[in-house]
């Protein structure tokens, strides 16, 4: 799994670039092997070995770290219009 000394706040995020990959991940039901299609984010608990292999194979790519939830929600919220009284 991820290096325990790696800072989770600044951890690198990855996205699938291949058509389809599988990865071992921990779920509420235990370890699962899940399939990810192109464009899907790679789970943070993917092993370093798995990440290195898939990076070198061109099946995943590094992406900017995801924005905190509050910032992401703010970006998706449409701008509000304010009503102006006609004078």
pTM over 0.75: no
Do 19 and 38 touch, CB atoms closer than 8 A?
A: yes
Q: Please report the pLDDT score of residue 7 as a whole number.
A: 45
Mean pLDDT of the 1-14 span:
58
Start-to-end CA distance of the chain, whole Å, equals: 65
Please list, in sequence order, all residues whose beta carbon lies within 8 angstroms of the beta carbon of residue 64, skipping any fewer than 6 positions away. 13
pLDDT, tens digit, for every residue of 28-73? Answer: 889 999 999 999 999 999 999 999 999 999 999 999 865 555 454 5
């Amino acid at each position: 799994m991820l290096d325990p000394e790696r800072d989770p706040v600044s951890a690198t995020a990855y996205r699938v670039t291949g058509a389809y990959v599988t990865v071992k991940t921990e779920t509420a039901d235990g370890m699962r092997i899940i399939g990810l299609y192109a464009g899907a984010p790679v789970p943070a608990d993917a092993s370093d070995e798995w990440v290195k292999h898939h990076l070198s194979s061109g099946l995943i790519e590094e992406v900017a770290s995801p924005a905190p939830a509050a910032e992401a929600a703010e970006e998706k919220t449409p701008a509000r219009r304010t009503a102006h009284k006609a004078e």
